[in-house]
Amino acid sequence: CRFRIRKMALAATVKMEDSSPFGEDADRNVMINYLPRTYGTEDLQSLLQAYGVIEACKVVMDNQTNRSKGYGFVKFSTGPEADNAIAQLNGFELEGKKLKLHKAAYRDSPAQLYVAGFDPSLPGSELIAFFGNFGSVKAMKPITSQAGKKGVCFITMSNYAEADAAIRGANGATFGVDQLT
């Protein structure tokens, strides 16, 4: 089986030390999804500054293309300011995309992984056992695929550290007789 694994809830995958200026103030931290690829940190700050005092702002960039990955984070000075920005801009259309704003999750929140490319006849219990090597699997939800297609599922780990470990451990690892990617 070959796996492609991607973390679904990216808000808490970014550490304060390396690329995110946010700590544990989830009430004030907002994640913004579906940003245009042309948007940078300055653009995001300009868009959101009307809704409150911004203590930190970051658009996550692709290191290879130097373009936005389509999401970013803003830390407001108060929770009500963050709530106001969410209420006013969630669903707002920007360059043909509808923004999705929500509170950023804590690092110890459950983390969902998107797993694709495995043999769809593989029992779910084997996937759960495999990912259990990296931490506590809270749930596994298979996605029905078309005949002849590779398997796809969502696996929920108990926290982001375990999800990161699963991504590092499963990508390129051997599962059964096939290599995971």
- From the number of C-beta atoms within 10 Å of its C-beta (0-12, 13-18, 19+), residue 115 rates as buried
| pLDDT per position as a tens digit, 60-90 | 888 888 899 999 999 999 999 999 999 999 9
Do the beta carbons of residue 22 and residue 121 sit within 8 Å?
no
Kind and range of the H or E run holding 169: helix 160-170
Where in 62-110 does DSSP place strands (E)?
Answer: 68-76, 93-94, 97-98, 100-103
Tokens of 147: 């005949």
Comparing 7-11, 44-48, 111-115, 127-131, which segment has the lowest mean pLDDT? 7-11
Instruction: Read off the pLDDT of residues 142-161 as tens digits, 9 standing for 90 and up.
Output: 876 555 566 778 888 887 77
| Alpha-carbon Rg for the chain in angstroms | 18
